[in-house]
Structure 1
Amino acid sequence: MKTIKGPGLFLAQFASDSAPFDDWNAITAWAASLGYEGVQVPSGDRRLFDLDRAVDSQTYRDEFLGIAAQNGISVTELSAHLQGQLVAVHPAYDAAFDAFAPAAVRGKPKARQEWAVDQVARTIRASRLLGLDAMATFSGALAWPYLYPWPQRAPGLVETAFDTLAARWRPLLDLAEENGVDVCYEIHPGEDLHDGVTFEMFLDRVDQHPRANMLYDPSHYLLQQLDYLANIDIYHDRIRMFHVKDAEFRPTGRQGVYGGYQPWVDRAGRFRSLGDGQVDFAQVFSKLAQYDFSGWAVVEWECALKHPEDGAREGAEFVRRHIIRTTPHAFDDFAAQGADAAANRRALGLA
């Protein structure tokens, strides 16, 4: 069995124009001061990371990794969540998702998609060049507006959406194979890959591609009322990345899973800082250890109530307490008897 690495911290929710969150050296020093050993880096945030230079310049890559190492930090993975979202966008979301793209391609869905595909491809290549073997992303979504089957969905609508999604991602997955990088889709509401069934629908269309894998985040499953522990039993071979994020679901007589269009703080289901929600992380970490997950436990802070810096500080210690240092031997080895075929036959009455 393998011991999970960590604690790590996803920087997307912390990057800003204010110190120490606007500079690579400062933010890695800050993360280390809280007890983090690694950080997951959004590949599109130029305050922290220059994706183009990372692909083109060994000097830049050495400097980038060297600064982190001087601060006692490893780069756990790159994230292309926002770019991956733009690989597939239903027109209903064009205006909202234009904010994720540069000004030159806003209002131009085809150009925006081409830009997003190039960004994901660059993140794959940069991951390999940085010595990383996995990257995080969203799948994007074409079918999401049709999640609830009323009005009735036209025959073939969902199938067409998934056929198209798979066709857009297949060349990127092949590129990932060439570079030895797992593409880890965060299974997430708002994405066409939002639960196990939809992930399997996608896998079927990309011929069970070995580089199509999962970013496991139990908070998204709890808010869907999906069995997040059984999910590990089913998909452990595909789980290559782990976000440690808590959530709570408290339905009332007025609202449930859909949330009644309420803001996060007023929803029945809402994300919480680690330890403040309902996810059974003792069992999550136990199952991941059982199935030899050897990646990073990366804190993703999202909470409707608590200050992010408090959540980050508490999260490092929370993960450290939950990581299981796996045993190198069985607990009853002290009573083990040497292998002896003759003795085994005698024990079975076969001598």
Structure 2
Amino acid sequence: MKTIKGPAIFLAQFAGDTAPFNSLPAIARWVSGLGYKGVQIPSWDARLFDLKKAAESKTYCEEVKGTLAEHGLEITELSTHLQGQLVAVHPAYDTGFDGFAAPEVRGNPALRQQWAVEQMMLAAQASANLGLVAHVTFSGALAWPYLYSWPPRPAGLIESAFDELAKRWRPILDAFDHAGVDVCYEVHPGEDLHDGVSYEMFLDRVQGHKRACLLYDPSHFVLQQLNYLDYIDYYHDRIKIFHVKDAEFNPTGKQGVYGGYQPWLQRAGRFRSLGDGQVDFTGIFSKLAQYDYPGWAVLEWECCIKHPEDGAREGAAFIRDHIIRVAERAFDDFAGGNVDTAANKKMLGIA
């Protein structure tokens, strides 16, 4: 068995324009002081990272790793959540998602998609140059507006959406395969890959591509009322990245899964800081250890109540305390002995 690596932290929710959140050296010093050992880097945030430069220059990648190493940190993965989202955008969301793209392609969905694919190709090479083996992203969505459809969906609508999604992602998956890096989709409401069934629909269409892997985040499953422990049993061989994020679901007579268009603070389902929600992290860390999860435990902080700096500080200790140092031998080895074939046969009554 493997001991999960960590604690690590996703920097996207903390990057900002003021110190210590506005540069990689400064934010590295901050997270190291909290007890983190790894950082997951948002590739779109130029205050922390230059994706194009990383794809083109191994020297730059060594400099980035060196900056982190000065503070006892490693890169766990790069993230392209925003760029991956733009690989597939339903027209209903064009305006909302335009801000994720470079200014020169906004207002032009075709150019925006092309830019997003180019970003993913850069991420494949950058990950390879950094010596990483996994990468996190979103799938994007074409079918999401029809999730709970009225009038009823016409026959073939969802199938066509997933056919197109697979067509767009297949060249990206091949590029990551060439780079030796897994693409780990964060299964998430709002994406066409939002649960196990939708992931399998996609996986079938990319012919079980070995790089089409998963980021595991139980908080999104609490909000969907999906059994997040069973999910590990089904997909443990594809789970390569783990976001440690808490959530709670408290339905009322007025509100359930869909949230009634309310802000996060007033929804039945809400993200919370680690330890403040309902997720069974003891069960999760146990299952991941059981299945030899090969990666890091990465805090993704999102909470509608607690201050982010408090969430980050508490999160490091929370993850560290939940990581299981796996056993190197069975607990009852002391009572065992050498193989004695004759004795075994005698115990079984075999002549």
TM-score bucket (shorter structure) = over 0.9
1:146 lines up with 2:146 in the alignment: yes
- Structure 1: how far apart are the matches of 2:154 and 2:124? 36
Deviations 1:208-239 (A, max 9, x none): 00000000000000000000000000110111
- Structure 1: how far apart are the matches of 2:151 and 2:31? 48
Give the structure 2 partner of residue 42 of structure 1: 42
1:25 lines up with 2:25 in the alignment: yes
- Structure 2: how far apart are the matches of 1:306 and 1:123? 33
Deviations 1:112-132 (A, max 9, x none): 000000101111110011000
- Structure 2: how far apart are the matches of 1:101 and 1:5? 33
- What letter is aligned with 1:77? E
Give the structure 2 partner of residue 61 of structure 1: 61
Give the structure 2 partner of residue 327 of structure 1: 327
- What letter is aligned with 1:225? Q
Give the structure 1 partner of residue 127 of structure 2: 127
- Structure 1: how far apart are the matches of 2:189 and 2:77? 22
What is the CA distance between 1:57 and its match in structure 2?
Answer: 1.5
- Structure 2: how far apart are the matches of 1:142 and 1:319? 35
- What letter is aligned with 2:24? W
Are the aligned partners of 2:6 and 2:320 in contact in 1 as well (CA < 8 Å)?
yes
User: Per the alignment, in what secondary structure is the counterpart of residue 223 of structure 1?
Assistant: helix
Give the structure 2 partner of residue 280 of structure 1: 280
4+ runs deviating over 3 angstroms: none
1:190 lines up with 2:190 in the alignment: yes
1:300 lines up with 2:300 in the alignment: yes
- Structure 2: how far apart are the matches of 1:5 and 1:163? 36
Give the structure 2 partner of residue 208 of structure 1: 208
Deviations 1:236-280 (A, max 9, x none): 011111000000000001100000000000000000000000000
Q: Which runs of 5+ in 1 are unaligned?
A: none
User: Per the alignment, in what secondary structure is the counterpart of residue 219 of structure 2?
Assistant: helix
Query: What's the C-alpha RMSD, in Å, of the aligned pairs?
Result: 0.6
User: Per the alignment, in what secondary structure is the counterpart of residue 175 of structure 1?
Assistant: helix
1:102 lines up with 2:131 in the alignment: no
- Structure 1: how far apart are the matches of 2:180 and 2:81? 19
- Structure 2: how far apart are the matches of 1:190 and 1:44? 20
Q: Which runs of 5+ in 2 are unaligned?
A: none
What is the CA distance between 1:336 and its match in structure 2?
Answer: 0.5
1:162 lines up with 2:155 in the alignment: no
Give the structure 2 partner of residue 340 of structure 1: 340
User: Per the alignment, in what secondary structure is the counterpart of residue 114 of structure 2?
Assistant: helix
- Structure 1: how far apart are the matches of 2:156 and 2:183? 27
What is the CA distance between 1:46 and its match in structure 2?
Answer: 0.7
What is the CA distance between 1:24 and its match in structure 2?
Answer: 0.5
- Structure 2: how far apart are the matches of 1:52 and 1:238? 28
- Structure 2: how far apart are the matches of 1:103 and 1:211? 31
Question: What is the identity percentage for the equivalent residue pairs of Structure 1 and Structure 2?
Answer: 68
Are the aligned partners of 2:7 and 2:320 in contact in 1 as well (CA < 8 Å)?
yes
- Structure 2: how far apart are the matches of 1:57 and 1:125? 10
TM-score, normalised relative to structure 2: 0.99
Give the structure 2 partner of residue 173 of structure 1: 173
- Structure 1: how far apart are the matches of 2:79 and 2:329? 36
Give the structure 1 partner of residue 264 of structure 2: 264
- Structure 2: how far apart are the matches of 1:135 and 1:170? 16
Number of residue-to-residue matches in the alignment: 351
- What letter is aligned with 2:308? P
Give the structure 2 partner of residue 82 of structure 1: 82
TM-score, normalised relative to structure 1: 0.99
